[in-house]
Structure 1
Amino acid sequence: MQRGAARGFTLIELMVVIAVIAIGTAVASLALRDGEASALAREGDRLAALLESARAQSRAAGVPVVWRATPGGFAWQGLPPGAAALPTQWLSAGTHAVGNAALLLGPDPIIDAQAVVLARSAAGSDGTVPTLQIATDGLRPFAVTTAAP
């Protein structure tokens, strides 16, 4: 009596497939950034650029420009007439400025050291609330740094 050819996968073949899937899953999970942190990073970069734009407009027109946080976004005071309109809303809901300090953006070329802390209302995947600080020493442009918890 002759037995038919063996069909199916060997144990080695199954183990190789499982190992490949495990490696692929690990690489994909490490490559994904936390959604809350990346949204906050975009907001920080955008706000730093907006503050520098308003600072340049203030210097060019010779008028003081003030940035203030509002409950739904932020407001600009003193932008020169005819200047490009700057946005007043956050890109993503849940972003807010911590505190209510105003930033004076000019018209002098050197301003006081100033900072604003941005936070998200939702916690990240590790359970912490992400925060960023947008700050200047008065001479350098506004830069985004990680705020201390």
Structure 2
Amino acid sequence: MRCSRCPDRGHRRSFRNGHCAFASLPWLPPTILRFFPRLVHRHLRPISRAAARGFTLLELMVVISIIALATAGVGFAMRDGGDTQLQREGERLSALLEAARVQSRTAGVAVRWRATPEGFRFEGLPDSELPTQWLDAATGVRGNADLWLGPEPLIGPQQVLIVSSAHPQRSVLVATDGLRPFAAQGVQ
């Protein structure tokens, strides 16, 4: 039988599905198809339509993993260090305040947290091993810098505003309502 899809209708079909490989080459210019059909047919390997139609699963997975790695790299490159550093300081301070509050209740003494020019300190705890420095030297406190962490289970609402001299427009509020633990909240 002769192939009905090719410009050269004189050659025989080379596939089991009824069409030659020449008919599935839309990327070849029409002039080559028209003037050199036998030359093109001679150099074509018979391939199935399924193989000529798409990519393999492995190829798709490699491309998707490359895109995922590139996206992750861009995401980490665009991350703002100043904002995350200040948020990390707020979360650390809230954890330290809760630890001091637990030690205050355990020892039965009132504990006072006070900001200093070098960092901060906990007054009232005997031989406290709690840190007294900020992670970043540019971090400080704005406004009232005294918190009372009494031995009572309920304390009054208290808050402290943490700022960074490197990023003065950003701040983090570490606050409690007296019942819940201290929590860091980002404030612009």
- Which category of TM-score, normalised to the shorter sequence, fits these structures? 0.7 to 0.9
Secondary structure of 1:122 counterpart: coil
Matches of residues 108-147 of structure 1 in structure 2 within 5 Å? 108-123=152-167, 129-147=169-187
Unmatched tracts of structure 2, length 5 or more: 1-65
Structure label with greater radius of gyration: 2
Superposition TM-score, scaled by structure 2 size: 0.59
Q: Which moved more, 1:52-61 or 1:30-39?
A: 30-39
Matches of residues 64-79 of structure 1 in structure 2 within 5 Å? 64-79=110-125
8 Å contact from structure 1 (residues 43, 90) kept in 2:
yes
* Cα distance per residue 1:89-137 (max 9 Å; x no partner): 10111000112331001111000000011011012xxxx6221001000
Q: Does 1:55 align with 2:106?
A: no
Question: Whole-Å Cα distance in 2 between the matches of residues 76 and 119 of structure 1?
Answer: 20
Unmatched tracts of structure 1, length 5 or more: 1-19
Secondary structure of 2:101 counterpart: helix
Query: One-letter code of the match for 1:114?
Result: Q
* Cα distance per residue 1:16-74 (max 9 Å; x no partner): xxxx99xx4x7644443211111111111110010000000111111100001111100
What is the aligned length? 121
Question: Whole-Å Cα distance in 2 between the matches of residues 144 and 37 of structure 1?
Answer: 13
Query: One-letter code of the match for 1:72?
Result: E
Question: Whole-Å Cα distance in 1 between the matches of residues 122 and 72 of structure 2?
Answer: 44
Query: One-letter code of the match for 1:132?
Result: V
Superposition TM-score, scaled by structure 1 size: 0.73
Higher helix share: 2
CA-based RMSD of the aligned residues comes to 2.1
Question: Whole-Å Cα distance in 1 between the matches of residues 123 and 178 of structure 2?
Answer: 19
8 Å contact from structure 1 (residues 134, 145) kept in 2:
yes
8 Å contact from structure 1 (residues 68, 100) kept in 2:
no
8 Å contact from structure 1 (residues 122, 129) kept in 2:
no
Aligned equivalent of 1:96, options 140, 153, 156: 140
Question: Whole-Å Cα distance in 2 between the matches of residues 86 and 52 of structure 1?
Answer: 11
Question: Whole-Å Cα distance in 2 between the matches of residues 92 and 74 of structure 1?
Answer: 13
8 Å contact from structure 2 (residues 141, 161) kept in 1:
yes
Question: Whole-Å Cα distance in 2 between the matches of residues 54 and 102 of structure 1?
Answer: 14
**Highest RCO, 1 vs 2 (Cα 8 Å, sep ≥ 6):** 1
Task: Identify the residue that residue 107 of structure 1 maps to in structure 2.
Answer: 151
Identity %: 52
